[in-house]
Amino acid sequence: MRLMWEYTMRQKKLLFFNFICVFGFILIELGLPTLLAKMIDVGVRNKDWEYVKVMGLWMVVITAIGLTLHILLTYVGARLNTAIIIDIRDDMFEKMQGFSHQEYEKLGVSSLITRTTNDAYQVMMFLGMLLKTGFLTPMMFTASLYLIMRESVSLSKFVFMAIPLLLIGVIVLARLSEPLSKLQQKNLDKLNMILRENLSGLRVVRAFVNEDFQEKRFKKVNENYASSSTRLFSLVAAAQPAFYFLFNIIMVLVIWFGSKQIELGTLEVGKLLSFIEYVFHALFSFMLFASVFMMYPRAAVSAQRIQEVLDTSSSIVEPEEGVIETSTHGVLEFKNVTFAYPGATESPVIRDVSFTANPGETVAFIGSTGSGKSTLIQLIPRFYDTTKGEVLIDGVNVKDYKLADLRAKIGYIPQKALLFTGTIRDNLRFGKLDATEEDFLYAAEVAQATEFISQKEHGFDEMLSEGGSNFSGGQKQRLAIARAIIRRPDIYVFDDSFSALDYKTDATLRQRLKKETTDATVLIVAQRISTIMHADKIIVLNEGDVVGSGTHQELLKNCGIYYDIAASQLSKEELA
Ligand SMILES: Nc1ncnc2c1ncn2[C@@H]1O[C@H](COP(=O)(O)OP(=O)(O)OP(=O)(O)O)[C@@H](O)[C@H]1O
């Protein structure tokens, strides 16, 4: 409720207009039966046709004003709804941008998508309904009850008898629908997760002929979603006939006893007609309010899920004032660093790692898969914080920099070359927003991407489809490298970024990079010995421990694990 209140209150101006329209609409809706009663009881009864005509004209004018106000109410309501959902989604997006990997893993990417799209939509639908009818119905209900009493106290007892029954019904429905709403949103999360996995992994699904399996998986979750939705809607649907039944009983009683009173001369026909009209307004406004009330549990579940995102703080906390000036540029030091993934019960993924990398040096990391190489380098741009020990850049703990300043020092090339929908130029601009044409050409040349870019029909303006799926793995890797080069960082971090390149391109690229990075610190994670054998220092990792450190030649002599890796890739002559 806090979330809905907060976001609605941001739109005070529109709320005010909404209230004015509602108020005017009620005055008119409830004014009409009074005019009708007068028309019949004064005009028709006394055969004063001039009076009937005047009343009729007033009714037409008032109906036209009512219609205009209703249209305005719908318009203002739509403006309010859109303003609220835009604010919610913008705030969620901004919040999520600041999350560390830990929060993404905790909340789940698919769930975050559902929360931003469907949950925000549910809240919008509820607020839309509430703002349209939330003011209108209680006011209409109270005013109608007053008018009912005014017209006939004896007939009004039937309406008052029905109200407790209606109240109990609404409360029971709301109670029953809450757990079903929670279940429905959870099932939607699962549905989105499978859909997302299936679409992004379509090639794997097809290559392993797993379409049937995936279809069954999707069908099962889809059926669960359908079943929770059906139960929820059946509940709401069952309420409607029950309401109409009660409504009809009240009407029958009112007409029955009202006719008797007319016969006895204690009630006039016009008064009975306006009484019926007021009962209709009272009960329908109650019913409308009840339907908003019944939508509430579902919207509350969605609001809770949104609030959870907005209340989640990033585990990576920035200092108020970050360090800006440093005397060196690119000196990296790991001091007894130990790291365990947050929430993981297993032992640390890397243990007590210490090393230094200086500008102009290339430091490489090698080790079997899962030995902790990618984890280790992810601590440099602070994707995660160390569990123990410190990571220092230019003598300053990475925690003491503003994240933007820290990351501006680093050119990170991830294991999976992640590119975005847009042109090649747009993707390279991710590295440097104000990159010039010269920068594009230079970065492409260093990354050995000039040739394939020039072969594309539109050159740098060639469009990449989602995830860069219209480019080869090697081309994507080179664009990811160019994106880092264009930024000219102090520290380059290559996380197995040469794996999709052929040996020749790999060698040429590294040679060219060497010239480019004479003043920078270069860290390379690789599986191929040929990629790292010329590094100034090679660090060998095994199950999170550093088991060797030195040059290629030194390690061949001193480190059994390194020798085994090298022996599995190099010829006897190369090993000698
Ligand atoms: N987000 C995560 N949460 C929990 N554990 C993780 C996470 N990411 C990786 N791990 C675990 O950490 C260990 C090290 O993984 P890491 O990716 O650093 O290895 P790696 O040496 O880079 O492997 P590869 O060469 O296969 O890329 C593995 O046991 C892995 O299961």
Q: Is the CB of 370 under 6 A from ligand 1?
A: yes
Q: Is the CB of 344 under 6 A from ligand 1?
A: yes
Distance 74 CA to ligand 1 centre (A): 54
The mean per-residue pLDDT over the stretch 246-265 comes to 88
* Pocket mutation for ligand 1, best pick of 102, 103, 341 (most atoms within 8 Å of C-beta): 341
Distance from C-alpha of 1 to C-alpha of 450, rounded to nearest angstrom: 56
Please give the DSSP secondary-structure letter assigned to residue 347.
P
Cα separation values, 58 from 5, 23, 63, 268, Å: 39, 19, 8, 22
Distance 319 CA to ligand 1 centre (A): 28
76 in a structural domain:
yes
Nearest residue by C-alpha to atom 31 in ligand 1: 370
205 in a structural domain:
yes
- Give strand ranges (E) for 171-325: none
- What is the DSSP pairing of strand 537-542 with strand 396-397? unpaired
Nearest residue by C-alpha to atom 29 in ligand 1: 370
112 in a structural domain:
yes
- 449-506 per-position pLDDT tens digit: 998 999 989 999 999 887 777 888 889 989 999 999 998 999 999 988 877 777 788 8
- 261-316 per-position pLDDT tens digit: 888 888 888 888 888 888 888 888 888 887 787 778 778 888 999 999 999 988 88
Q: Is the CB of 345 under 6 A from ligand 1?
A: no
The residue range of the domain holding 198 is: 2-311
Q: Is the CB of 416 under 6 A from ligand 1?
A: no
Q: What is the per-residue pLDDT for 296? A: 81
Q: Is the CB of 476 under 6 A from ligand 1?
A: no
Q: What is the per-residue pLDDT for 346? A: 65
Nearest residue by C-alpha to atom 16 in ligand 1: 372
Q: Is the CB of 185 under 6 A from ligand 1?
A: no
Atom of ligand 1 nearest to the CA of 101: 1
Least confident of 171-180, 302-311, 435-444, 541-550: 171-180
Please give the DSSP secondary-structure letter assigned to residue 493.
E
481 in a structural domain:
no
Q: Is the CB of 11 under 6 A from ligand 1?
A: no
Number of structural domains the chain divides into: 1
Most confident of 170-174, 237-241, 330-334, 342-346: 330-334
104 in a structural domain:
yes
Nearest to 391 by CA among 340, 335, 350: 335
- Other CB atoms within a 10 A radius of the CB of residue 325 amount to 6
152 in a structural domain:
yes
Atom of ligand 1 nearest to the CA of 415: 27
Percent of the chain with pLDDT over 70: 99
458 in a structural domain:
no
Q: What is the per-residue pLDDT for 377? A: 93
ipTM: 0.94
- What is the DSSP pairing of strand 545-550 with strand 396-397? unpaired
Confidence band for 345, pLDDT divided at 50, 70 and 90: low
Cα separation values, 440 from 169, 420, 421, 459, 550, Å: 67, 17, 18, 11, 36
Residue written as tokens 């004015």? 20
Q: Is the CB of 378 under 6 A from ligand 1?
A: no
Residue written as tokens 């997760």? 193
Cα separation values, 304 from 119, 128, 322, 396, 475, Å: 9, 18, 34, 40, 43
19 in a structural domain:
yes
Helix or strand run (H / E) with residue 526 = none
Nearest residue by C-alpha to atom 4 in ligand 1: 341
* Pocket mutation for ligand 1, best pick of 100, 106, 350, 374 (most atoms within 8 Å of C-beta): 374
Q: What is the per-residue pLDDT for 309? A: 94
Distance 375 CA to ligand 1 centre (A): 6
Three-state DSSP at 367 gives strand
Distance 527 CA to ligand 1 centre (A): 14
- 195-225 per-position pLDDT tens digit: 888 887 777 787 777 888 888 888 998 898 8
Distance 544 CA to ligand 1 centre (A): 10
Distance 367 CA to ligand 1 centre (A): 12
In single-letter form, the type of residue at position 435 comes to A
Give the CATH number of the domain where residue 85 resides: 1.20.1560.10
Q: Are 130 and 81 spatial neighbours (Cβ–Cβ below 8 Å)?
A: no
Q: Is the CB of 373 under 6 A from ligand 1?
A: yes
- 501-558 per-position pLDDT tens digit: 777 888 888 888 888 888 899 999 988 888 888 899 999 999 889 999 999 999 988 8
Higher pLDDT pick, 160 / 209: 160
Q: What is the per-residue pLDDT for 335? A: 95
Confidence band for 392, pLDDT divided at 50, 70 and 90: very high
CA 55-60-63 angle, to 5 degrees, is 120
Question: Concatenated DSSP letters for 437-484?
Answer: HHHHHHHHHHTT-HHHHHHSTTGGGPEE-GGGTTS-HHHHHHHHHHHH
Higher pLDDT pick, 256 / 210: 256
Q: Is the CB of 371 under 6 A from ligand 1?
A: yes
